[in-house]
Structure 1
């Protein structure tokens, strides 16, 4: 005999389903509006008010699950490297690539480009 538990998804499953659909719609929109102008806008104006497409892209980057997010680590040499969060307690972040950025602005733009590669599958 089937119970309510068997026939209805749990609230957690429904929440995941809504998030997945929202993410799919957001990705579709971002892929339609992504162009060189958005990338140039970010390089020249990382802080402050942005165009709507760039603002939505940055919001998507910030909403990603913790294990899909990037951060920066300042090395003893003064250079910045990109790291990826593990999303698990006790597991430290891991370096992503070997690139060392001289400035925080260059490093932030490097993180932005990593998110774009994740979005486009490149």
Structure 2
């Protein structure tokens, strides 16, 4: 019986340590009121980057609401506001600006595609060396 109590006590202590570590990490990342995380973007044009992702998700027509409705830009912008804490009061205007670009419509998405391809190449190369 005493053995079970010791094991249970060790588990409680380990869980408490884990909880403290998670809380410390949340504090380090600067959690805001309401459970949102304060994210600092490297670029100053982060709203347009987020909008590129939103427009890409809208155009591939893969995200639907629980009621079965296709999510549009405004709905996705509202979701992004909850996740990233970035508001898009002029969403429609920014979308018009996105498609009016002269040099490449989606430079951020293009960078993401290239980064994914490079990582895939590295991983395939690594798998090849293992044989």
TM-score scaled to structure 1, two decimals?
Answer: 0.32
Larger Rg: 2
Higher-helix-fraction structure: 2
TM-score scaled to structure 2, two decimals?
Answer: 0.30
Higher-strand-fraction structure: 1
